[in-house]
């Protein structure tokens, strides 16, 4: 008998860099297929999945040219990069039989639906994956903050922050082999120990609205499934 998932509805926060693989920028096809495969595993368990994705992998290719830009202009360019990533994810999902919808906080009617909360929740309840593009639709706010907002709006059970490191550590595990992974942390402990879980605005929103965060590595095969099954994977940051 298969184990029941611990969470019915999740919000997965993916950085754009997660799609790069070992490339310097852009989208690595084998990497995106591996990530989509993990998402399919949890959808087949009956978990409702929303995704907020960054755009750093696309924007990195023009970052030197953008260095002297007005901040708001550069941020809008970054938002468009997130929509490009969202479309790539949707395409990869369609190839493995997943039904996905892209909703954008910026109006791009030809390629994405506008973000509508009620419609997004309906899609989730129908078993479709909803990919939220263009961040919050406002400059000066990161996609971490967008993930916190969408997670609260979608009434998710938990936010899952997918990274290259399998949790939050006492020190940088790449530099210090004796660094220890925290299994759990409170928000106050993370703040007190100056642990960089996500940007300060997003972190404060999650803490104030009691939205727990699980930090894990999307590059460990089967890690996402283990997280939703409640197994010891990653680090849980809780109230």
Q: What's the average pLDDT block by block, 10 residues per block, for the chain (239 residues)?
A: 84 92 86 96 97 86 67 90 96 98 96 97 98 96 96 98 92 88 94 88 94 95 96 94
142 is in an annotated binding site: yes
22 is in an annotated binding site: no
Overall fold of domain 9-238: Carbamate kinase (3.40.1160)
| 216, β-bridge pairs | 162
How many Å is the Cα radius of gyration of the chain?
Answer: 17
Which residues does 220 contact at the CB level (< 8 Å), separation at least 6? 166, 233
Q: Where exactly are the structural domains of the chain?
A: 9-238
170 is in an annotated binding site: no
pLDDT at residue number 138: 96
Q: DSSP code of 114?
A: E
pLDDT at residue number 4: 86
pLDDT at residue number 24: 80
59 is in an annotated binding site: no
75 is in an annotated binding site: yes
15 is in an annotated binding site: yes
Residue 58 and residue 26 in contact, taking contact as beta carbons nearer than 8 Å:
yes
56 is in an annotated binding site: yes
In angstroms, the CA 83 to CA 103 distance is: 9
């Amino acid at each position: 008998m298969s184990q029941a998932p611990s969470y019915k509805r999740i919000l997965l926060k993916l950085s754009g860099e997660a799609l790069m693989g070992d490339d310097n920028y852009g989208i690595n096809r084998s990497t995106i297929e591996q990530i989509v495969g993990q998402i399919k595993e949890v959808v087949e368990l009956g978990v409702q999945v929303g995704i907020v994705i960054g755009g750093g992998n696309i924007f990195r290719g023009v970052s030197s040219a953008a260095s002297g830009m007005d901040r708001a202009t550069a941020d809008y360019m970054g938002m468009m990069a997130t929509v490009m990533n969202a479309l790539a994810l949707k395409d990869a999902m369609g190839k493995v039989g997943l039904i996905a919808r892209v909703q954008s906080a910026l109006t791009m009617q030809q390629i994405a639906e506008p973000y509508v909360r009620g419609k997004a929740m309906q899609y989730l309840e129908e078993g479709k994956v909803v990919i939220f593009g263009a961040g919050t639709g406002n400059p000066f706010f990161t996609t971490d903050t967008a993930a916190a907002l969408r997670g609260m709006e979608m009434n998710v059970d938990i936010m899952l922050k997918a990274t290259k490191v399998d949790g939050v550590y006492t020190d940088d595990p790449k530099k210090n082999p004796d660094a220890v992974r925290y299994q759990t942390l409170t928000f106050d402990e993370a703040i007190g120990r100056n642990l960089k879980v996500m940007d300060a605005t997003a972190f404060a929103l999650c803490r104030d609205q009691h939205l727990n965060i699980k930090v894990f590595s999307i590059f460990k095969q089967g890690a996402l499934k283990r997280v939703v099954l409640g197994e010891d994977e990653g680090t849980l940051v809780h109230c």
